[in-house]
Chains A and B, each alone.
Chain A
Amino acid sequence: MTDAEYLDAVIRTQTLATDAPELVELREHREAVEGLLRRRFGSACPNIRYGGSYKKGTMIKRAYDLDLPTYFAAAETGAGETLEEIYHNVEAALRDDYWTEPKGSAIRLRSREGAAGTATAGRDFHIDVVPGRFFDESETDTWLYQNVPGRERLKTNLDVHIEHVKKSGVRDAIRLMKLWRVDQYVDVRNFVLELLTIELLSGRKAVALPTQLRHILEQFRDHVDDLWVEDPANPSGNDLSELLNESVRFSLRLNAAATLQAVERDGWEGVFGPVVEQDRAAALGRAAAAVPVSRRHEPWAAR
């Protein structure tokens, strides 16, 4: 198996199919959250969408989270006057059915274990509800609350982030770098890693995936202090320097160096581990058989 074939196999085994049990459950929770908020806020009910790696097409099985941007209309005050009130009121509504954990701008959902009053956090549902309010009637830019003293509000744009990644042309590299981050315990936020990957591979989209990864890691190892990122949704307004501080840069440099040594020694399998794949030919045969007869077609081709 070539390096490219191996990395493709890694990506395939890490990609969650739309009917995968994990995604089915996520979608069920999305509906539950929407129902809950609709019951609580009635006509002020927010616009709840899919966000994050699901919408960007970069979700990996090893560490997946579903972002649920939950944005209220610009003039809507039914959930609170201020962003902080909106955040806390949404969290209070979610506590009806979930164990909630505040996380910066998001609210993590877990199951509630035990009786009311003595309940504890149970299973992690991998869902982050992100309350916010649209900036204006165009419903594009949004304000988010941040539990950060001095920077309690953040202006951003979900669609810009999603498009920036989805149309980057380097989604495969992003997925593998996310996997690297999880497997090697690299101290960097996914958001920053995405931006760095896209930036470092600009002009290299047509290059083979193993070469792309090697380039990124070499840049982390040799030039991490020269790297910087900006929020594509608000480049002048959102300062991301704290997300790429000295500690993060150190982690990137150290782990990149170790990874490149591992690649030299054991190939990419030394980084991502063995890939256990089912018999693809047999699986493709089953997939072909599963297509309903009414949806089968003979392609127009000569062989």
Chain B
Amino acid sequence: MQTGDALVRGVPWHRRETAPYRALVGAVEDEFPCLYFEERGDQLVLAGEFHVLEDGKVLDRYEIEIDVPRGGPTADMPVVREVGGRIPHSAERHNPGGATCLMVPDEFWYRYPNGMGLVEFLRGPVLGYFIGQSIVERGGAWPYGERAHGVAGIVEFYGALVGSTDPGCVHGLLVMAAAKKVRAHWLCPCGSRRRVQSCHGHRVRHLRGRLPRRVLRVAAEVVRRLVPHARQR
């Protein structure tokens, strides 16, 4: 779900901001010497061998590619692909286009509202994901748990934030959170028959404070597919 990146048109970041780009290349390639940048058309890709490390030892290696967002490394969640054939290609394990499912994209924006530098992204979510992959390959469970795939995973994520597992309630609260203004007379979608301001209003305010409206709008639209007869606002 590309959001901020979709807003950037024209010249990609690495051609507009050449000095920061060169600094990024130096920082990434110095810490991860088996990775390299290359341009594929307008798309800047970070490719090569990623190491799972522990106590100065390489525990595992993965061939990966990472699409650096057009708007810059912090403009959106980078798309990561494992290209060495280690992860069987399936709808359950991959997003369309073969991207690995590091996390629900909305969680990326919730946890990192200002985006995330590429080095930090490699040290954090990417490393954690491939540690998990190595453990799973040996018959273990994902070390930090996992979310249901697809829309159900998005409902899970927002459900934990709004305190409801009901897709209808989650959808309704997302619609409110994504609105330009939360109207005082709106009834809470949880079914309490109370006004949202005195029911789940604080949850809605929390979402509005943490996530961009565009992310919430898209999430609402996606969750709506699980909710028959859901109204669009």
Contacts and interface: CB of A to CB of B under 8 A. Distances in A.
A55 B33 contact: yes
A287 interface: yes
Given A12-B59, A298-B142, A54 B33 contact: yes
A303 interface: yes
B135 A284 contact: yes
B230 interface: no
Nearest to A20: B56
Contacts of B135: 281, 284-285, 288
Contacts of B95: 300
Interface in A7-37: 8, 11-13, 15, 17-21
B53 A50 contact: no
Interface string B159-191: 000000000000000000000000000000000
Interface residues of A, number: 43
A18 to B, nearest CB: 6
B39 interface: no
Contact of B127 (A8, A166, A291): A291
A164 B132 CA distance: 32
B88 to A, nearest CB: 11
A57 B47 CA distance: 12
A54 to B, nearest CB: 5
Interface in A278-298: 278, 280-281, 283-292, 294-298
A302 interface: yes
Interface in B95-137: 95, 100-104, 107, 111, 123-125, 127-129, 131-132, 134-136
Given A17-B53, A298-B142, A299-B132, A167 B147 contact: no
A278 B146 contact: no
B131 A280 contact: no
A50 B33 CA distance: 10
B49 A300 contact: no
A171 B58 contact: no
Contact of A283 (B34, B36, B55, B100): B55
A50 B29 CA distance: 10
Given A15-B58, A281-B138, A57 B49 contact: yes
Contact of B53 (A166, A171, A287): A287
Please tell me the size bucket of the interface on B.
Answer: 35 or more
A299 B101 contact: yes
A286 B103 CA distance: 21
Interface in A233-273: none
B58 A281 contact: no
A293 to B, nearest CB: 9
Nearest to B143: A288
A163 interface: yes
Nearest to B145: A298
B128 to A, nearest CB: 5
Interface string B20-42: 00000000011111111010000
User: Could you say which of B33, B58, B107, B146 has the most chain A C-beta atoms within 10 Å of its C-beta?
Assistant: B33
Contacts of A289: 143
A300 B146 contact: yes
B107 A17 contact: no
Contacts of B44: none
Contacts of A8: 61
Contact of B59 (A56, A287, A298): A287
A301 interface: yes
Interface string B133-161: 01110101011111111100100000000
Contact of A299 (B51, B57, B134, B146): B146
A198 interface: no
Contacts of B138: 280-281, 284
Nearest to B29: A55
A90 interface: no
Interface in A158-192: 163, 166-167, 171
A187 B31 CA distance: 32
B59 A284 contact: yes
Contact of B32 (A18, A20, A296): A18
A57 B101 contact: no
A171 B49 contact: yes
Contact of A303 (B55, B92, B127): B92
Given A298-B146, A299-B102, A283 B54 contact: yes
28 contacts: A12-B61, A13-B58, A15-B58, A15-B61, A17-B58, A18-B33, A18-B51, A57-B48, A166-B36, A171-B49, A280-B134, A281-B138, A283-B54, A284-B60, A284-B134, A284-B135, A285-B143, A286-B54, A287-B53, A287-B131, A295-B123, A296-B128, A297-B107, A298-B103, A298-B107, A299-B102, A299-B103, A301-B146
Given A298-B144, A303-B136, 20 more contacts: A12-B61, A15-B61, A54-B33, A57-B36, A171-B49, A283-B59, A284-B54, A284-B134, A284-B135, A287-B59, A288-B128, A291-B131, A297-B102, A297-B107, A299-B101, A299-B129, A300-B103, A301-B93, A302-B146, A303-B92
